[in-house]
Amino acid sequence: MIPFEKILSKAEEYKPKMSRFLRDMIALPSESCGEKEVIHRIKAEMEACGYDRVEIDPMGNVLGFIGNGKHLIALDAHIDTVGIGDRTLWTYDPYEGYEDDEIIVGRGASDQEGGMASMVYAGKIIKDLGLPGDFTLMVVGSVQEEDCDGLCWQYIINEDKYTPEFVVLTEPTSCNIYRGHRGRMEIKVSTRGLSCHGSAPERGDNAIYKMAPILQELRALHENLHFDPFLGKGSLTVSEVFFSSPSRCAVADGCTISVDRRLTHGETWEMALQQIRNLPAVKAAGAEVSMYSYDRPSWTGLVYPTECFFPTWVLDENHAACRSMVDGYRDLFKSEPLVDKWTFSTNGVSIMGRYGIPCVGFGPGHEDQAHAPDERTWKSELVKAAALYAVVPSIYTEKYVG
């Protein structure tokens, strides 16, 4: 029998320790590729909680293990953060943070170190109570997600050789259960021109002017992209503009834009590139349309290049991983969960999008806190998440796979 009341009681008991651990992580700046200190802080917490084994892989991800059963189940939290942006928009110091009886404020509180705090203590609850099931739990603190979501799991699957039966993603969901999200691409569109002195622009060919009608056609393309009943519409936005020119007193000989393309169910990366290549202004300008690649070194110095394509994924609501989450929610909290999807992207783009390993999401914190000033999470949600993470492996192995 699974002791649901004892699990809830333990999660509540560990609320002060989870809060302290989260504040410790927030206090260590950990933007992508600079996560070393927070990774070692997580490793120390896992060891203090009695994990059976803790390792840091060559990319710099921290992996903690509990049990030695045949069913490998993973919990994932990316522990890198974005920067703080305009410091004047913060009421509190983004790293010193703030805490009262209900909330914790600081960069990473919701996105996504709160999930990490709940995950580590879910492992301790499993150890404390000897929760049943033939499983091995792998608790992952992953790096570089904000820079290149899913790259960490490409490494874990391909190089570390760990293939879980399913992964619980602990990105913020307001303690709802999420089973998918749109994919995305980072696309580059470039025009070329001919520079000349700005006093006689007719002698040259202005690459910026060539880009102007492309921008208008991209805006129109956004309005007509495919719609999926669950994930919603595909989208695109122009996110960056660059130019090359000999000086401010010259005609620009190059112009490049970045396009953030969100792919809904039924869209492919090939389709997304071709839609832009087919635009009349792109053809008229002879513009080049391509996908960005990523090859930034991790905090350990490891380079693991990949294309900036992050596939769409959706888990069937009747899959055992999703049903285990729903069952655990009902048994713990005596209510029906909302089963929905994220607006933003997660490491699921690789885990399920590339490799077909089922993913399901549940996390403390709220999506609207991600990347925002005075980012916060709620202590009650840390407790709720820790309890559900602790119970799901037992439900899955006892009820669905035997």
- Could you say which DSSP state residue 110 is in? I
pLDDT value, residue 251: 98
Collapsing DSSP to helix, strand or coil, 106 comes out as coil
Asked whether residue 39 falls in the same domain as residue 160, the answer is yes
Last residue of a domain, one of 294, 320, 341: 294
pLDDT value, residue 73: 98
Collapsing DSSP to helix, strand or coil, 361 comes out as strand
Cβ atoms within 10 Å of 98's Cβ, excluding its own: 18
Collapsing DSSP to helix, strand or coil, 152 comes out as helix
Q: 145, 146, 327, 381: which is the annotated catalytic residue?
A: 145
Q: 80, 111, 267, 381: which is the annotated catalytic residue?
A: 80
Each residue's pLDDT tens digit, 334-351: 999 999 999 999 999 999
Last residue of a domain, one of 260, 294, 328: 294
Report yes or no on 57 lying in a domain: yes
Nearest of 292, 346, 258 to residue 75 by alpha carbon: 346
| CATH number for the domain that contains residue 105 | 3.40.630.10
Asked whether residue 8 falls in the same domain as residue 109, the answer is yes
3-state SS of 304-357 is: CCEECEECCEECCCCCHHHHHHHHHHHHHHCCCCCEECCCCCCCHHHHCCCCCC
Report yes or no on 300 lying in a domain: no
Report yes or no on 60 lying in a domain: yes
Asked whether residue 169 falls in the same domain as residue 224, the answer is no
Asked whether residue 32 falls in the same domain as residue 150, the answer is yes
pTM of the model: 0.95
Report yes or no on 302 lying in a domain: no
Asked whether residue 177 falls in the same domain as residue 187, the answer is no
Last residue of a domain, one of 268, 294, 320: 294
Asked whether residue 53 falls in the same domain as residue 165, the answer is yes
Nearest of 139, 137, 147 to residue 45 by alpha carbon: 139
Residue where the block lists tokens 């809904």: 264
Residue where the block lists tokens 């609320």: 15
* Overall domain count for the chain: 2
Q: Which domain holds residue 236?
A: 183-294
| CATH number for the domain that contains residue 289 | 3.30.70.360
pLDDT value, residue 402: 72
Report yes or no on 336 lying in a domain: yes
295 annotated active-site: no
Report yes or no on 307 lying in a domain: no
Q: Kindly report the length of the chain.
A: 402
Q: Is the CA virtual torsion 128, 51, 157, 183 positive or negative? A: positive
Report yes or no on 303 lying in a domain: no
Amino acid at 175: C
Asked whether residue 282 falls in the same domain as residue 348, the answer is no
Asked whether residue 255 falls in the same domain as residue 322, the answer is no
Collapsing DSSP to helix, strand or coil, 396 comes out as helix
Asked whether residue 115 falls in the same domain as residue 243, the answer is no
Asked whether residue 350 falls in the same domain as residue 217, the answer is no
pLDDT tens-place values along the chain, 402 residues long: 899 999 999 999 999 999 999 999 999 999 999 999 999 999 999 999 999 999 999 999 999 999 999 999 999 999 999 999 999 999 999 999 999 999 999 999 999 999 999 999 999 999 999 999 999 999 999 999 999 999 999 999 999 999 999 999 999 999 999 999 999 999 999 999 999 999 999 999 999 999 999 999 999 999 999 999 999 999 999 999 999 999 999 999 999 999 999 999 999 999 999 999 999 999 999 999 999 999 999 999 999 999 999 999 999 999 999 999 999 999 999 999 999 999 999 999 999 999 999 999 999 999 999 999 999 999 999 999 999 999 999 999 999 997
Each residue's pLDDT tens digit, 72-108: 999 999 999 999 999 999 999 999 999 999 999 999 9
Please list, in sequence order, all residues whose beta carbon lies within 8 angstroms of the beta carbon of residue 13, skipping any fewer than 6 positions away: none
Report yes or no on 305 lying in a domain: no
Asked whether residue 98 falls in the same domain as residue 211, the answer is no
d(CA 101, CA 198): 62
Asked whether residue 67 falls in the same domain as residue 22, the answer is yes
> In this structure, are residues 322 and 339 in contact, taking their beta carbons and an 8 Å threshold?
yes
> In this structure, are residues 112 and 367 in contact, taking their beta carbons and an 8 Å threshold?
no
d(CA 21, CA 198): 58
145 annotated active-site: yes
d(CA 396, CA 61): 26
pLDDT value, residue 88: 97
